[in-house]
Amino acid sequence: MSSPAATINPEDRLFHLILALMSTTHGLNKDHILNTVRGYREDSEAGMARESIERRFERDKDALRELGIPLEAIIPPEDDGNNKNTLYRIPKGDYELPPDIRFSSPEIALLNVAAAIWREGSLSKEARIAQVKLASYGLVVDEAMVGFAPIISTRDPALSALREAIDQGRVVEFDYLKPGDTAPTARKVSPFALVNHEGRWHLYGLEHTSMKEKTFLLRRIVSGITTLAEPAEPSPEDVARTALADLEAVWRRNVARIKTTPGSDAHAVLSKKPEAVVDASTITVHYTDLAIFAGELTAFGMDIVVLDPPELKELMRQHLELLVADHV
């Protein structure tokens, strides 16, 4: 069953690695794997440098983890720091879906739509993998996707790095520019959750300097994300939902009164905001972030006047003065 190494493609080698690691109860050490598993064995026999084969094994382990395959590495207690004795295995129970979980056709269809929401940007890879796994149920998905195509954008450059850090449970550092400040400040945060509220991404986590849980708007992160080796503080239970509820509470608390030109675009758009109250030309609306809301309102130009609150009125004036100064 041995073929020249050159004809064994990567998926063939990876598939055999999975089968071997799933069939062992106690685990296999690296020597055993490299000398017996198809793809490695042929390369070993063909005299390929041991170092290159070992590097390939490292990359293969990463490839399996990327697919969500639970690869376990067991280091024996008497280990001398040399990974020669590390035993690798894929516990069948961790690999397979528990037998009591089954999906119906409508459920598969629903999950496919849920995965399709991420078809752009940094979560699209996970979504695609999930869709192939869903397809393996063999159910016919006939629910029409035509007519409905939602997308959540995941364009914020910090999003991928923060997801990675959350998954690995590690502390991050970044520069954050608060509205009104002229220079960013360095922050050190244990990242807990990513929350999309009103279409904007937020990081929720524990800030180390203040030891307080805080919400950071991703678009105000002005540096790259540095992930430290330091492990993150443990996150509270159900943290993403709590963070989202916090943002929704802020939205509810903040109320603005705005006078609009009747029949204008501004009137049409603002009166359709969730829970907006329209009283002739005056509209009462909720908002989350003062600076962002002021930006949205500035785009309506002379079709609106902010009546309340005073801090929003003042910010509008500053925005408009800045626009004039920048363009005359």
Partner 1 sequence: MSKPQRKPGATDNLLLLLALVPYVLDRGEVSVAEAAAQFDRSEADIRKAVELIACAGVPGENLAYSHLDLFDIDWDLFESEGTITFWNTVALDHQPRFSAREASALIAGLQYLQAHPAYAGRGDVNEVMEKIRKGSGRGPADRIAVGAPALEEHLHALNQALETRVSVEMKYHNKRGEALLRVVDPVVLEARDTQWYLRAWCHERQALRTFRVDHIESLALTHQTHEGRESFLDDISPDLFEPSEHDVTVTLEVHPGTLPLIADYLPRGYQIPAGDKPVHVDIPFAHYGSLTRLVASYPGVIRVMSPLSARTAVADFAKAALSHYS
The binder of partner 1 chosen from 48, 56, 86, 110 (CB under 8 A): 110
Instruction: Return the number of the residue (265 or 308) whose C-beta is nearest partner 1.
Output: 265
User: Which span (30-38, 44-52, 78-86, 206-214) binds partner 1, by CB under 8 A?
Assistant: 30-38
Q: How far is the CB of 179 from partner 1 (least distance, A)?
A: 11
| Smallest gap from residue 51 Cβ to partner 1 (A) | 22
The Cα 67–Cα 146 span in angstroms is 29
Q: Which stretch binds partner 1 (CB under 8 A): 4-12, 44-52, 79-87, 206-214?
A: 4-12
Kindly state the DSSP code that residue 277 receives in the 8-state scheme: E
What minimum distance in Å lies between the beta carbon of 288 and partner 1?
10
Tokens of 327: 């363009």
Beta strands in 155-211 (DSSP E): 170-176, 185-197, 200-207
Q: How far is 197 from 201, CA to CA, in rounded Å?
A: 7
Judged by beta carbon, residue 176 or residue 211, the one nearer partner 1 is: 176
Judge contact between 262 and 281, C-beta under 8 A: yes
User: What are the beta bridge partners of residue 307?
Assistant: none
Instruction: Output the smallest distance, CB 268 to partner 1, in A.
Output: 5
Distances (CA, A) of 159 to 4, 108, 147, 191: 43, 27, 29, 12
Binders of partner 1 among residues 111 to 170 (CB under 8 A) are 111-119, 123, 126-127, 129-133, 135-138, 146-153, 155-157, 163, 166-167
Q: Are 16 and 33 in contact (CB under 8 A)?
A: no
32 — alpha (psi -120 to 50), left (phi > 0) or beta?
A: alpha
DSSP 200-264: EEEEEEEETTTTEEEEEEGGGB-SPPEEEEEEPPPPPTTHHHHHHHHHHHHHHH-EEEEEE-TTS
CB of 61 to partner 1, least distance (A): 13
DSSP state of 121: G
Residues 46-85 interacting with partner 1 (rule: CB under 8 A): 63, 66-70
- At its nearest, how many Å lie between partner 1 and the CB of residue 72? 10
Nearer to partner 1, 81 or 105 (CB): 105
Q: How far is the CB of 256 from partner 1 (least distance, A)?
A: 14
Counting Cα atoms < 13 Å in the Cβ hemisphere of 326 gives: 6
Of residues 230 and 265, the one with the C-beta less far from partner 1:
265
Give the interface size with partner 1 as a residue count (CB under 8 A). 118
Residues in 276-315 that interact with partner 1 by CB under 8 A: 295-296, 298-299, 301-303, 305, 313
Considering only residues 176 to 205 of the shown chain, the ones binding partner 1 according to CB under 8 A are 192-200
Number of other residues whose CB lies within 10 A of the CB of residue 192? 22
Strand partners, 214: 205
Stretch touching partner 1 by CB under 8 A, among 29-37, 45-53, 79-87, 206-214: 29-37
Q: Which residues, numbered 221-250, are part of the site for partner 1 (CB under 8 A)?
A: 222, 235, 238-241, 243-244, 247-248
CB of 239 to partner 1, least distance (A): 7
